[in-house]
Amino acid sequence: MKYLIAIDSDGTLRHDDGTISDRTKIIISKLVDLGNYVVICTARPRYHTKKVADESLASKILISSNGTEIYDNDKKTLVFVTYIEKSNCIKLYNYAKVNDIRIIFVVDETEYATHFIRNDKQKLLSNEIDIDKFFEENKVKQCMILDNDKEKIEEFKKHTIEIGLKINNFSNPYEKEQWFSVINSNSSKGQALLVLSKYLRIPIENTIAIGNDYNDVPMFEVSGISVAVDNAKEEIKKVAKIITESNNNDGVAIYLEKIIRECTNFK
């Protein structure tokens, strides 16, 4: 039996310090060598997802930006992508500008940000930009809204819902920098898993989803097997069929070692 295994990155695959253990890399490599697909499925943009996939020795197909994109990194082609409507991007940008809130628009492999940038994959959006022309030329997969002022972020969330957009995931109330992400209302990690299952011709009952947060729930709901790491929120664990060890205790590796025994009768 061949599996399609979708694994979230932050808080699931990676330890809290951002590392991936050798134990995890070895078991992922073995599963891929046996013909299974081990796919990183994350809220992060494509460039970051590729980095995690390479480091973890996972498959070359990537699910990024909260399921809005499936990218085949071997063929350098898009398998699937959804976008936020231009008119809604303009509404988000205008609200962020008026209220002096940082916003990031994810376009292909580049993030366009207001206020400041944090890495070489981000570009600064000028205040003088022709925003109508910009969104005509650049299709947005995901928006990230960030600010240290919790009340401003909560008001922005309300505005986002009022204009009919989907808040996909968000920070916990204890983080210094508050944030939330917005994607196309029809998109999710679950939708991406369904699409990839058909693309790879692997029955959905042969899919495994491993995660820790609210944006992982849609793939828990469609996958054959759903696995939450022990550090996941309690309401997330209630949705999953299986609970493994925490991310810091290599919960992904511990679960996948059981799967490889099914594939190889390894003792």
Q: pLDDT tens, 81-127?
A: 999 999 999 999 999 999 999 999 999 999 999 989 999 999 999 88
Distances in Å between the Cα of 7 and the Cα atoms of 63, 88, 91, 124, 157 are 10, 30, 33, 31, 27
Average pLDDT over residues 165-187: 89
Question: What does the mean pLDDT of the chain come to?
Answer: 94
Q: Are residues 90 and 75 in the same domain?
A: no
Token pair for residue 18? 């951002």
Q: Are residues 49 and 65 in the same domain?
A: yes
With a cut of 60, say whether residue 266 has pLDDT above it.
Answer: no
- Report the alpha-carbon distance of residue 5 to residue 24 in Å, rounded: 14
Contact between residue 220 and residue 196 where contact means Cβ atoms under 8 Å apart: no
- From 148, 183, 218, give the residue that closes a domain: 183
- From 138, 156, 183, give the residue that closes a domain: 183
- From 134, 154, 183, give the residue that closes a domain: 183
Helical pair 22-33 and 46-56, crossing angle rounded to 10 deg: 90
- Report the alpha-carbon distance of residue 222 to residue 241 in Å, rounded: 12
Question: What's this model's pTM, rounded to 2 decimal places?
Answer: 0.93
Q: Are residues 91 and 207 in the same domain?
A: no
Cα dihedral value 33, 34, 39, 40, nearest 10? -50
Quick: pLDDT tens for 34-79.
999 999 999 999 999 999 999 999 999 999 999 999 999 999 999 9
Q: Are residues 77 and 191 in the same domain?
A: yes
Domain count along the chain = 2
Average pLDDT over residues 178-188: 93
Owning domain of residue 243: 4-81+187-264
